[in-house]
Chain A
Amino acid sequence: AQSVTQLDSHVSVSEGTPVLLRCNYSSSYSPSLFWYVQHPNKGLQLLLKYTSAATLVKGINGFEAEFKKSETSFHLTKPSAHMSDAAEYFCVVSVGHDMRFGAGTRLTVKP
Chain B
Amino acid sequence: DTGVSQDPRHKITKRGQNVTFRCDPISEHNRLYWYRQTLGQGPEFLTYFQNEAQLEKSRLLSDRFSAERPKGSFSTLEIQRTEQGDSAMYLCASSPDLYNEQFFGPGTRLTVL
Contact = CB atoms under 8 A, between A and B. Distances in A.
- Chain B contact residues: helix, strand, loop or mixed: loop
B43 A44 contact: yes
Given A97-B31, A97-B56, A98-B45, A103 B101 contact: no
Q: Which of B4, B101, B105 has the most CB of A within 10 A?
A: B101
Interface residues of B, number: 24
Nearest to A42: B106
A111 interface: no
Interface of A: 32, 34, 36, 41-46, 49, 51, 90, 92, 96-104
Nearest to B6: A43
Given A51-B99, A97-B98, A103-B40, A43 B45 contact: no
B31 A46 contact: no
Nearest to B42: A101
Interface of B: 3-4, 31, 33, 40-45, 48, 55-56, 91, 93, 98-99, 101-107
Q: Which of A41, A44, A100 has the most CB of B within 10 A?
A: A44
B55 A97 contact: yes
A96 B42 CA distance: 19
Given A43-B4, A44-B91, A104-B40, A99 B104 contact: no
8 contacts: A32-B99, A43-B104, A43-B106, A97-B98, A98-B45, A99-B102, A102-B42, A104-B40
Given A44-B91, A97-B48, A104 B104 contact: no
Nearest to B4: A43
A104 B31 contact: no
Given A44-B93, A46-B103, A99-B102, 12 more contacts: A43-B4, A43-B91, A45-B104, A90-B43, A96-B99, A97-B55, A97-B56, A99-B45, A100-B45, A102-B42, A103-B42, A104-B41
